[in-house]
Amino acid sequence: MPLSISDHPLVKHKLGLLRRRDTPPWLFRPLIRELTLLLLYEATADLALWSERVETPLEVAEVSVLAQRIGFAPILRAGLGMVEAALDLLPTADVRHLGIYRDHATLLPVEYYSRLQGIPTADIYLILDPMLATGQSAVAAVDMLKRWGAPRVKFVGLIGAPEGIQVLQRAHPDLEIFLAAQDRKLNASGYILPGLGDAGDRQFRT
């Protein structure tokens, strides 16, 4: 299952609110967080577990405990809006920020910041970025994590364009991609249609 497009009614409803041109930043941001929670629920469905015996108030019970360490790699700056929800779900996760922006003239990624010092401390890293447009920034992020030594990487986003999905799958066929929707196409400026505009601008009113 390299590509998963959510079919959940709540995801579709909240994404519809997010797309609206008149949705203000104070509503846009919590919608990003809510969608992130729903998508992470699906992206983490295959995490390994082990069993542990604990004392309940009444007796000993066998419970499940996560057997894998999870990390998040948000792509600055739009990915910042997804981190809070991710940490609500997994508060002990490792967070490694990646600074990558798209050059508006060439549409190619420019890497300007990375917190990939030392060695990976998680078994799985989930890249967080709302928009998978040209796919170039996502490819660069996966490249950075793999060069660093991340054992396993997934991509979690909100909307993907067919062109960007294809670019990312071609560069990293082993990568699992989780999205709320696949849209029609990119325009000449590299924006997703119908999309929702610039996710970073709409979150931070810039």
Band the pLDDT of 106: cuts 50, 70, 90.
Answer: confident
For residues 159 and 181, the answer to whether their CB atoms sit within 8 Å is yes
Cα 12 from Cα 181, distance rounded (Å) = 8
Domain with 42, as residue range(s), is 3-204
Tokens of 153: 């990487």
Cα 170 from Cα 101, distance rounded (Å) = 21
Residue 44's φ and ψ, nearest 5 degrees, are -105, 15
Residue from 146, 106, 108, 104 nearest 127 by CA: 146
Q: Give the pLDDT score at 70.
A: 96
Q: Give the pLDDT score at 114.
A: 86
Q: Give the pLDDT score at 101.
A: 83
Mean pLDDT of 130-153: 95
> Using one digit for the tens of pLDDT, what is the confidence trace for 11-47?
999 999 999 999 999 999 999 999 999 999 999 999 9
Band the pLDDT of 1: cuts 50, 70, 90.
Answer: low
pLDDT of residue 112 exceeding 90 = no
Q: How many domains does the chain have?
A: 1
pTM: 0.93
CATH code of the domain covering residue 20: 3.40.50.2020
List the end-to-end C-alpha distance of the chain, in Å, as a whole number: 36
Q: Pairing between strand 60-66 and 185-186?
A: unpaired
Cα 161 from Cα 135, distance rounded (Å) = 8
For residues 133 and 186, the answer to whether their CB atoms sit within 8 Å is yes
Mean pLDDT of 141-165: 96
Strand order through the sheet with 131-132: 131-132, 159-160, 181-182
Q: Give the pLDDT score at 75.
A: 94
Q: Give the pLDDT score at 5.
A: 97
pLDDT of residue 73 exceeding 70 = yes
Band the pLDDT of 115: cuts 50, 70, 90.
Answer: confident
- Mean confidence (pLDDT) of the chain: 93
For residues 1 and 175, the answer to whether their CB atoms sit within 8 Å is no
What is the full DSSP assignment across 124-140? EEEEE-SEESSSHHHHH
Which regions of the chain does DSSP assign to beta strands (E)?
A: 3-5, 49-55, 60-66, 70-76, 94-95, 98-102, 109-114, 124-128, 131-132, 153-156, 159-160, 176-179, 181-182, 185-186, 192-193
